[in-house]
Structure 1
Amino acid sequence: MAGNMDRNAKALQEAWRREENTLCADCKKPDPDWASYTLGVFLCFDCAGIHRNLSGISKVKSIRMDCWEEGQIEFLMQHGNAKAKAKYEAHVPFYYYHPVHTDCLVLREQWIRAKYERNEFMKPGKQSPYSNGLKEGILWKRGRDNGQYLLRRFLLSEREGCLKYFTKQDAKEPKVAIKIDTINAVFQPEKTGNPNGLQITYLKDNKTRNIFVYHEDGQEIVDWFNAIRAAQFHYLKVAFPVASDQELRNRLTRNFLKEGYMEKTGPRQKEAFKKRWFTLDHRRLMYFKDPLDAFAKGEVFVGSREQGYSVMEGLPAGTQGSFTWQHGITIITPDREYLFTCETERDQQEWMTAFWHVIKQPMTPQEYAIEAYFKLRP
């Protein structure tokens, strides 16, 4: 009896330590220590929690804490993350967003449900809710001025290259038509206070505009998110025919590099520092009075080191503007210096890391055009 237990434990450890199983099958978090003995995949704690809700499809146990039957271990030995990926992710569209462990719950849950519950990627042609170039539906949209969420009709048209929304369901003309190539979409459950909250950021007259939407159904809001990515991908395929699919995917919707409060002072560097909410969307550092504001109060372009951009810890000696927070940051551009302060040293270091991440990257031709616009602004 003891010998069988030892053999089972050894077999379980052998399956667990195979290279293909060292990352969570669903979110790629290292060292997953749970497994589904009905799907044959190794999972992190959080993804295992989602699998528990897949009634009749996935049964999970802890590798470290639970007892395993011989048949369950044999099933894991015969399967594993690589075989599951080949089966359940065989036809994932190139534009489809693959959530990682740092992404919000709705993205991770819908990715798992799409794979194992709805079998969306086992055969081609099952992705029509977000892949056919046209999506229409009702979303709750936050009002720009009063903050109240109201039902609005949205229409995404790949052929027209835009996302529209209408204030009335039977309206002929849209309130806004947003060019698909200017859109970024980011899930913001904490900022919006809604688990399915989505922030859509776009450029209007080369100024950043935010709208906040949600849908009660997680699958529907994630379908909208991937429909936007699909439309962007196909637009870019036409606009940049020689670019690789990987290059185009890198230009689709992206998470903000960093968000949070800092204090800032004005161009004369004598004004009192004011607390603002900052969002770093690659090379655009935007600041808002409130995190849910529709328009940024201002923006700073963060270029590359080769073009004379840099970031320095602390503030210049003799800074005259009064400030509350003590952890300073100076962004150096070819035209001026921008001064900020952070509440904690950790915030300061995280912002510094994010700025250097951008500054170290060479600029694209499109980013040179954006930089030129910033320099021409009054």
Structure 2
Amino acid sequence: MASRGNAVARAMFQSKVPPFYYRPSASDCQLLREQWIRAKYERQEFTHPERQEPYSAGYREGFLWKRGRDNGQFLSRKFVLTEREGALKYFNRSDAKEPKAIMKIEHLNATFQPAKIGHPHGLQVTYLKDNSTRNIFVYHEDGKEIVDWFNALRAARFHYLQVAFPGASDADLVPKLSRNYLQEGYMEKTGPKQTEGFRKRWFTMDDRRLMYFKDPLDAFARGEVFIGSRESGYTVLDGLPPSTQGHHWPHGITIVTPERRFLLACETESEQRAWMEALRTVVDRPMLPQEYAVEAHFKHKP
């Protein structure tokens, strides 16, 4: 009886959740789970749709603390999200006429990264600049504010994709609104000649892009590798070629692409297993038509 009552109450408080609104799972950060509960029961946003305006109006502006690209300091910056222009912009000064950066909604992703950023409300926003990934790291002291920003970005992506794919259902589009990374952490890598020493780098697996950075909070990746499908000649092998030297960590991974092999080493066996699983998940998935275009661009990068 009680469980039926709970189900009825839950259905009532969730009766008008917008399709783009992120519904957290047990594995999500505390902030997302807490704000989801507050939005449902305390603020009753999903029984009163007019209370959803902060993330559903198609326009949002405000100030966020943004990490400086070079000095690592967090400074207050004005951000403007405009669905009409299909862009998120930020300004170095509140009275600046021209934005410091324009991030196209088409190529934008946002994911909460409290541990990496060192703040419980830390959000990592990525976008493509000259077809390379650019990271920005932001937070807001108010948990509701940063979650509203996150859902406003998802709403903008949702409306962009509805236009780009007019026949697609909500269920098709919702998984494309934002991505959590498949895997992140330190590995060692060597260069294309495989005669240089191995160097420790921070790796991020973002869908089919495997990126590596000198530092987890770098704005730009030192390099990016496209991971295609098995049918296109991509494979992930356990271990390193027998002649490999110079790695300090014992648990090797070899990524085979049509062009070359990438040699990586993990510190622990469990990390190696996690990376192998993430890489194989992508390799085992057939490529979409638009992913062939991305692959072609990687092949022709200078």
Give 1:126 shift: 2.6
In 2: Cα distance, 1:139 partner to 1:233 partner: 23
Query: Are the equivalent residues in 2 in contact too, given 1:161–1:180 (CA < 8 A)?
Result: yes
AA matched with 1:331: I
8 Å contact kept, 1:139–1:154: yes
Aligned residues: 302
Counterpart CA distance in 2 for 1:84 and 1:208 is: 43
Is 1:79 the counterpart of 2:36 in the alignment? no
For 1:6-155, what aligned pairs fall within 5 Å after superposition?
76-80=2-6, 82-155=7-80
Looking at structure 2, the residues matched to 251 and 159 of structure 1 have their Cα atoms a distance apart, in angstroms, of 20
User: 2 CA distance for matches of 1:325 and 1:314?
Assistant: 11
The aligned counterpart of 2:253 is: 329
Post-superposition Cα deviations, 1:123-150, rounded to whole Å, max 9, x if no partner, equal 3333100001000000000000000011
Q: In structure 2, what is the Cα distance between the partners aligned to 1:377 and 1:198?
A: 29
Q: How far is the alpha carbon of 1:77 from its aligned partner?
A: 4.9
Task: Point out which structure has higher relative CO (alpha carbons under 8 A, 6+ apart).
Answer: 2
Counterpart amino acid of residue 204 in structure 1: K
Partner of 2:270: 346
Counterpart contact for 1:90–1:123, Cα < 8 Å: no
Task: Give the SS at the match of 1:156.
Answer: strand
CA distance in 2, matches of 1:87, 1:279: 39
* In 2, Cα distance between equivalents of 1:182 and 1:78: 43
Other-structure match for 1:274? 199
Structure 1 residues not aligned, in runs of 5+ = 1-14, 16-75
> Matched residue of 1:325: which SS?
coil
1:254 counterpart = 2:179: yes
Q: In structure 1, what is the equivalent of residue 296 of structure 2?
A: 372
Whether 1:362 aligns to 2:255 is no
1:206 equivalenced with 2:206 (yes/no): no
Aligned identity (percent) is: 65
When the two chains are superposed, the root-mean-square deviation of aligned CA atoms in Å is 1.0
Report Cα offsets for 1:328-353 as digits up to 9, x if no partner.
Answer: 00011111111100000000000000
Q: SS of the counterpart of 2:125?
A: strand
**Cα deviation 1:38-72 (Å, max 9, x = unaligned):** xxxxxxxxxxxxxxxxxxxxxxxxxxxxxxxxxxx
Out of 160, 163, 176, the position equivalent to 1:238 is 163
Counterpart CA distance in 1 for 2:271 and 2:4 is 46
Instruction: Give 1:219's aligned residue.
Output: 144
- Distance (Å, rounded) in 1 between the aligned partners of 2:4 and 2:227: 51
CA shift, 1:85, in A, is 2.8
Q: Structure 1 length as normaliser, TM-score?
A: 0.79
State the partner residue of 1:26.
none
TM-score (norm 2): 0.98
2:78 maps to 1:177: no
**CA separation in 2, counterparts of 1:77 and 1:341?**
49
Gaps of 5+ in 2: none
One-letter code aligned to 1:367: E
Residues 226-267 of structure 1, C-alpha deviations (whole Å, 9 max, x = no match):
000000000110111012211111211110000000000001
Q: Is the 8 A contact 1:164 1:177 kept in 2?
A: yes
- What is the CA–CA distance in structure 2 between the aligned matches of 1:326 and 1:98, rounded to whole Å? 39
After TM superposition, list the pairs within 5 Å mapping 1:263-302 onto structure 2: 263-302=188-227
Once residues 127 and 257 of structure 2 are traced to their aligned partners in structure 1, the CA distance between those partners, rounded to angstroms, is 25
Residue 115 to residue 272, structure 1, CA distance change in 2 (3 Å): same
| CA distance 1:325–1:84, change in 2 (3 Å) | same
